Structure 1
Amino acid sequence: MQVGSDRARRTLAFLRHRISSGEWPINSKIPTEPELMQLIGVGKTTVREAVRSLASVGMLEPMPGIGTFVRSRMPVSSVLTDYLSEFGAADLLGYRRALELEAAQQAARHRTDEQLAAMRHALDNPATAPEQPFGRDHGKAPGQFHFLVMEASGNTLLVGLYAGVVTALRQALHSGTVVHATDAETRLSEHRVLLAALEAGDIAAAAHAMAQHIERDLVPAEQA
């Protein structure tokens, strides 16, 4: 019993570290079950329990027949997500806009060279970055770059609230009440404009770039 408990804790710690460190980016697919068994040196049951545990707090999302994907670098409050899901698309997107504008301004003040490098990497390596279509919109909610901007704000409350918003947005994308107003190439171009403002430490330019991006990113389906 004690051995199994140690293995479970070790497996959970392994997965959480890969997620929280950014080694497995937001919206990326984690290794398969057999690969995890080999990497960690544990059995199938232990891996499945650890994945279920992280899925229950919104950090992972298993998609049958496709794989398991990283959805948040920190636990997501189910109370917050349930509360946000009660609101309409316009209210949810307005709340997201408020959080992201504040984060962009704070990130322009507080971002570190390491955080800027992580943002550049996310934009320059689309194979491991967000916006991976899987036939449905599961992977198209705001991804790694947006979370990195949030974290660069230095405000952990913003990051926690944003994680709940993204979970609610993913549900809205899946139900079709929220859609993208631009294509992936346009979103990437707008991300680069925002990154340039953050690199320059220009608070006004960062807020302007984020505002323009938000207005043209996700919209209520009736406005598309």
Structure 2
Amino acid sequence: MPPEVETTAIPPRGQRVQETIAQLRERILGGEWPVGSRVPTEPQLVAALGVGRNTVREAVRALAHAGVLEIRQGSGTYVVSVDELAPVVARRLTDDRMTEVVEVRRALEVEAARLAARRRTADDLAALADALTAREAAWRSGRVNDFVTADAMLHTAVVAAAHNGMLAELHASIGTAMRSTVAATLGENLTPERYVDHSRLIEAIQAGDPGWAAIEAGAYLAPPPPA
């Protein structure tokens, strides 16, 4: 009678693909492959993840379909987003949806400011102060693109200070849409009448006053008056 041989169960193909997708997502979210970077080649992924070529291929295609990766023939596969919601929001963004973006920002950022005033740490306060300084410097530079980026970084810092992971993910998903609406509002030049001071928002969070912080966050995201 032949000796018994211990065998290890092999997960079904669909499960292997899902596990590989999860591993790829984890590396992207962890910053190993930042947005704009090229991911390793298929053979390298096979070796690194310990799965077959077809499994890697299906996982990469799934993430490309979700808008996280982009397959460029003759060049490789690149990370284009860390969030599967972001490409969906970007595809839906049109001029007649700008008001909707502002309404969604208001829903997220007012609560983020309220939570930030309650939960901010010393590190958060330092990050907020630095972000506000950078935003002011970007405005003085007169460069619209620099200001849009610095403004987005300040709002991201406020959301981060709320210490709510799901809220941060939702806010990140509208990042492109948010920057587009700000850029559209500013136009080609930074003019004084379009300047919106955010120092009082940061002061409210520093003071630990949730009500004041919510009021300040809502003030610059007020819906336009009815026509």
TM-score in terms of structure 1 length: 0.54
Counterparts of 1:89 and 1:126, CA distance in 2 = 22
Q: Secondary structure at the match of 1:215?
A: coil
> Structure 2: any 5+ residue segments left out of the alignment?
1-27, 36-74
- 1:140 matched to which residue of 2? 148
Query: CA separation in 2, counterparts of 1:185 and 1:173?
Result: 10
- Is 1:98 matched with 2:107? yes
The residue that corresponds to 1:37 in the other structure is: none
* Partner in structure 2 of residue 44 of structure 1: none
The answer to whether residue 78 in structure 2 is matched with residue 53 in structure 1 is: yes
Q: What's the Cα RMSD here? A: 4.1
Once residues 153 and 99 of structure 2 are traced to their aligned partners in structure 1, the CA distance between those partners, rounded to angstroms, is 23
Q: Deviations over 1:60-83 (max 9, x none)?
A: xxxxxxxxxxxxxx7863224334
CA contact (8 A) 1:133 1:140 kept: no
Which deviates further from its counterpart, 80-89 or 154-163? 80-89
Matches of 2:94 and 2:140 in 1, distance apart?
A: 22
Distance 2:95 2:134 in 1: 35
Match of 2:205 among 172, 191, 198: 198
**Cα distance in 2, alignment partners of residues 184 and 112 from structure 1:** 34
Matched, 1:119 2:128: yes
Contact 1:130 1:143 (C-alpha < 8 Å) held by counterparts: no
Could you state the TM-score of these two structures normalised by the residue count of structure 2?
Answer: 0.53
Is the 8 Å Cα contact of residues 103 and 221 (structure 2) preserved in structure 1?
A: no
Aligned residue pairs total 156
Give the direction of change, closer, same or farther, for the CA distance of 1:157–1:193 in structure 2 (3 Å limit). same
- Matching residue within 12, 22, 32 for 1:13: 32
Q: 1:92 to 1:100 in 2, by over 3 A?
A: same
Q: Which residues of structure 1 form unaligned runs of 5+?
A: 1-8, 17-48, 59-73
Alpha-carbon distance, 1:169 to partner: 3.0
Deviations 1:99-123 (A, max 9, x none): 1101001111111110111111122
Question: Is the radius of gyration larger for structure 1 or structure 2?
Answer: 2
Instruction: State how far apart, in whole Å, the 1-side matches of 2:155 and 2:193 are.
Output: 14
> Measured at CA, do residues 77 and 96 of structure 1 come closer, stay the same or move farther in structure 2, by a change above 3 Å?
same
SS in 2 for 1:57: coil
1:157 equivalent to 2:171? Answer no
Answer yes or no: is the 8 Å Cα contact 2:101–2:181 preserved in 1: no
Cα distance 1:182–1:113, how it changes in 2: closer, same or farther (>3 A)?
farther
1:45 corresponds to which residue?
A: none
Other structure's SS at 2:163 match: coil
SS in structure 1 at match of 2:107: helix
Quickly say closer, same or farther: Cα 1:185–1:207, change in 2 above 3 A.
same
Kept in 2, the 8 Å contact 1:130–1:144? The answer is no
Q: Which residue of 1 aligns with 2:119?
A: 110
